[in-house]
């Protein structure tokens, strides 16, 4: 199982000891914090973790129901949009913006230029077998 230190998007990553990996949010979402699969890190049995689980469960349920993630008595989960808004889940949900600034600019430009050209699918992969990148347009300037 691949794990990594919880550092992305956190201003206090040096104090965190939790490990994140693909699907590590599922016990929180489904409210089974203390019944994790074998070989998974054990989640501390604290009121904070239980509250965080309730918030994640609420966000996901509202999203499934309405297409808009929200939770009772928790901050709004704003659309990513031009500000790069996101919700950081540490001790509680915290709204923030500009997650990893510059990280996806190249990908965004490729998608924009392909979409603007109308000549190829915008979602083709980038790499050695991808088609030539369309010319720069006014709307897709870096």
Indicate the domain borders of the chain.
Answer: 4-96, 105-140
User: How many residues in total does the chain contain?
Assistant: 142
Radius of gyration of the chain (CA): 19
- pTM score over 0.75: no
β-strand pairing of 4-5 with 86-89? unpaired
The encoded tokens of residue 2 equal 């691949």
- What sections of the chain are H helices per DSSP? 26-29, 47-66, 105-117
Confidence of residue 3 (pLDDT cuts 50, 70, 90): very low
User: What tens digit of pLDDT does each residue of 17-49 get?
Assistant: 456 778 888 999 999 998 888 888 888 889 999
Confidence of residue 66 (pLDDT cuts 50, 70, 90): very high
Per the DSSP assignment, residues forming a β-bridge with 4 are: 20
Q: Is the pLDDT of residue 130 over 90?
A: no
Give the pLDDT score at 20. 73
The encoded tokens of residue 95 equal 């709204």
d(CA 9, CA 12): 9
b/e sequence 47-73, b meaning 16+ C-beta within 10 Å: eebbebbbbbebbbebeeeeeebebee
């Amino acid at each position: 199982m691949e794990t990594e230190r919880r550092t992305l998007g956190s201003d206090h990553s040096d104090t965190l000891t939790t490990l994140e990996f693909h699907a590590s949010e599922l016990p929180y979402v489904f409210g089974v914090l203390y019944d994790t699969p074998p070989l998974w890190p054990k989640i501390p049995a604290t009121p904070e973790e239980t509250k965080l689980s309730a918030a994640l469960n609420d966000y996901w349920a509202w999203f499934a129901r309405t297409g808009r993630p929200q939770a009772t008595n928790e901050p709004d989960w704003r659309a990513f949009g031009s500000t790069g808004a996101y919700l950081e889940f540490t001790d509680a949900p915290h709204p923030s913006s500009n997650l990893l600034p510059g990280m996806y600019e190249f990908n965004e430009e490729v998608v924009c230029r392909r979409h603007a050209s109308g000549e190829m699918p915008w979602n083709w992969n980038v790499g050695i077998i991808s088609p030539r990148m369309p010319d720069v347009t006014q709307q897709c300037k870096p």
